[in-house]
Amino acid sequence: MSKDYIQLIQEAESYFDTGDIQHGIALLIQASELAGEAGEPVEQSAILNSLALAQEHSGQVAVARETLLRSFKLLRHANALTEAKVLNNLGLIEGNLGNSEAAKQYYQSSLELVTEVDDRVQMAWSLNNLGIVCKDQGQLTEARAYSEQALALLENEDAPQAQAHVLSGLGLTLELLHDVEGAQEYYQRALELYRQVDDQENEAVILHNLGQLYDNQNNFSDALEYYFKSLAINLKNQYKLGVTDNLNSLAALISTAYQVIESLEKQLDNPLRDFPLKFGHIISAWLQVLEDVLGESNSLNRSGDFSLVAALTEAESLESAIKMHKQILRFNQKIGYPVGQIKTLIDLGLLVRDAQQLDVAEQYLTQALTLAEEVANPNDLYNVYFNRGDIRMMAGRVSEAINDYAAAVDAAESIRTRLLLEEEALDYFAWPNLAAYDRLVRIQARLERTKQALSWAERAKSREFLRRLRLSDITRPQQVPQTLIEQEMQLIIQLRQTAIDLQAANEVDRLNILRNYESLEKKLCELWNKMEQFAPEYVALRQGKPTSWEELQQCLQV
């Protein structure tokens, strides 16, 4: 049997004790190589450190220096990787607790550490994690750029798990940019890789994401399949967050499906009448599959959550669906998972709304709003405001509803303004994100407030116009000091050039250009703040804020 490095160190020490330095040195060199091969860099560094001291004692000082420098390099690398790993985990936990900024800081620190030691795989992990936080903050261009740079770094690396992680991050971002096919492709590639390395926890996450993707397209049967597959893994392994995500989505899907079926059954030409397979049968079949999987792995009895799933699938009436959602909400609260709580509160609010309890529904949405404001994900804020607006509308509290829809518009626009690539910006206001504008136009028109209705319609249409106006040539008001105007012109020229570079950049360069763009934009915002005291309308127009026709005319006068 070949000796391991610990035995070699012991032998080397006995040679040193007898004063046979050269034999001792030769054994330490061997031990260091073995420790390296065994994937023990910290041990290898310690052996090299001892070796250097022996070399120094035997008068080989220059050689000792080389050995020590190698030891230090190895140690720095190993230390950076272990610290980065903990920092990434801290980022993950802060993200799940809804603290995006704290998560970002941990990922940034981790990125700095691994960049210093030039570890491409770990750099890709940290970059992608940053991308995922940006996504949660509604900064979708940045999110995509971070993840794309991560993917490029991994191109020639044998790191399937890291690749899967990045592909999954890209899928999430593309989904928010309404690129369903792109998201689906990334998820499928990620799924394959996670299965390859037997990472069941993440396999379950991807299966759930695919379920959501189909769910959002109203493809309930495919969505169910993915949710149940994900749930089987999560229940088997007791991944509570995963189980919670599955339960949240399944509860919403099942109650929506039963409501659709109920309304179809009231129609004379019910398209489901002659359809042999009933929804209840499909659900029961999936429950059976789940039971079999858990039974095979002897985890059925231990999984107390299975009974909750079983009860959920039987929740055919609105009342039982509400009861189920309340249980799931408690589940979310128990494990302190705000992201899950927001989703359940919205769904619960909508179910209670359908049961005509509008005041209770509003309370749920208001609770969701408090959490959504803490988590500060603009996508969640949009959903909460929009749905609460609907509930208030139904309760006849029109002015409060208008306020909610307007807040929903602000949330959607806050995402839109952070989209720096043309194709992303144009795709973003696809139908779902225009719904809040649509509500506002219709309400104002019904109230015969033509001017306001027109104003919202124009605002919806003019978003792209205002966005472009930010960097266009507009006559500066005379009251603004010349030095500020010159600084502004310089910054705008630079920003325009950077925007052109951004369009043409490949995936690797995009992130750097984006950072440059952000820094220029920050300077421009600071400058506009200084200019505001001299010409507030002009600055409002530059900042892309909605402007009255009179103000526009004033600014566009040459």
What is the full DSSP assignment across 72-133? HHHHHHHHHHHHHHHHHHHHHHHHHTT-HHHHHHHHHHHHHHHHHTT-HHHHHHHHHHHHHH
Q: Name the segment binding other proteins (CB under 8 A); options: 82-90, 152-160, 477-485, 515-523.
A: 82-90
Asked if 67 and 48 touch (Cβ cutoff 8 Å), the reply is yes
Secondary structure element (H or E) that encloses residue 27, with its range: helix 21-37
Please tell me whether residue 244 binds other proteins under the rule CB under 8 A: yes
Please tell me whether residue 96 binds other proteins under the rule CB under 8 A: yes
Footprint on residues 136-195 left by other proteins (CB under 8 A): none
Q: Taking Cα atoms as reference points, which of 136, 158, 156 lies closest to residue 146?
A: 136
Q: What CA–CA distances, in Å, run from 524 to 469, 512, 527?
A: 14, 18, 5
Please tell me whether residue 64 binds other proteins under the rule CB under 8 A: yes
> Would you state the structure tokens that stand for residue 289, as one six-digit string?
């599959």
Q: How many CB atoms lie within 10 A of CB 541?
A: 21
Asked if 309 and 335 touch (Cβ cutoff 8 Å), the reply is no
Please tell me whether residue 371 binds other proteins under the rule CB under 8 A: no
Please tell me whether residue 6 binds other proteins under the rule CB under 8 A: no
Footprint on residues 16-35 left by other proteins (CB under 8 A): none
Please tell me whether residue 97 binds other proteins under the rule CB under 8 A: yes
Among 26, 29, 75, 289, binds other proteins (CB under 8 A): 75
Please tell me whether residue 470 binds other proteins under the rule CB under 8 A: no
Please tell me whether residue 534 binds other proteins under the rule CB under 8 A: no
Residue 46: CB minimum distance to other proteins, A = 7
Q: Is 201 left (phi over 0), alpha (psi -120 to 50) or beta?
A: alpha
> Would you state the structure tokens that stand for residue 328, as one six-digit string?
């799931």
Which of 55/444 has CB closer to other proteins? 55
Size of the site for other proteins (CB under 8 A): 46
Please tell me whether residue 69 binds other proteins under the rule CB under 8 A: yes
- What gap in Å lies between CA 354 and CA 325, rounded to an integer? 14
Which of 235/369 has CB closer to other proteins? 235
> Would you state the structure tokens that stand for residue 55, as one six-digit string?
């070399």
- What gap in Å lies between CA 246 and CA 301, rounded to an integer? 20
Q: Taking Cα atoms as reference points, which of 197, 194, 207, 196 lies closest to residue 233?
A: 207
Please tell me whether residue 87 binds other proteins under the rule CB under 8 A: yes
Please tell me whether residue 53 binds other proteins under the rule CB under 8 A: yes
Residue 299: CB minimum distance to other proteins, A = 6
Q: Per this entry, what is the length of the chain?
A: 558
- What gap in Å lies between CA 159 and CA 124, rounded to an integer? 10
Which of 304/396 has CB closer to other proteins? 304
Please tell me whether residue 199 binds other proteins under the rule CB under 8 A: no
Please tell me whether residue 283 binds other proteins under the rule CB under 8 A: no
- What gap in Å lies between CA 371 and CA 366, rounded to an integer? 9
Which of 71/173 has CB closer to other proteins? 71
> Would you state the structure tokens that stand for residue 70, as one six-digit string?
């190698």
Please state the separation of Cα 392 from the chain's center in Å: 30
Please tell me whether residue 56 binds other proteins under the rule CB under 8 A: yes
Q: Name the segment binding other proteins (CB under 8 A); options: 40-48, 270-278, 385-393, 450-458.
A: 40-48
Residue 552: CB minimum distance to other proteins, A = 49
Q: What is the CA radius of gyration of the chain?
A: 30
Among 10, 14, 22, 89, binds other proteins (CB under 8 A): 89
Which of 65/522 has CB closer to other proteins? 65
Q: Name the segment binding other proteins (CB under 8 A); options: 4-12, 212-220, 306-314, 335-343.
A: 335-343
Binding site for other proteins (CB under 8 A): 42, 45-46, 49, 52-53, 56, 61-62, 64-65, 68-69, 71-72, 75-76, 79, 82-83, 85-87, 89-90, 92-94, 96-97, 201, 236-242, 244, 298-299, 302, 334-337
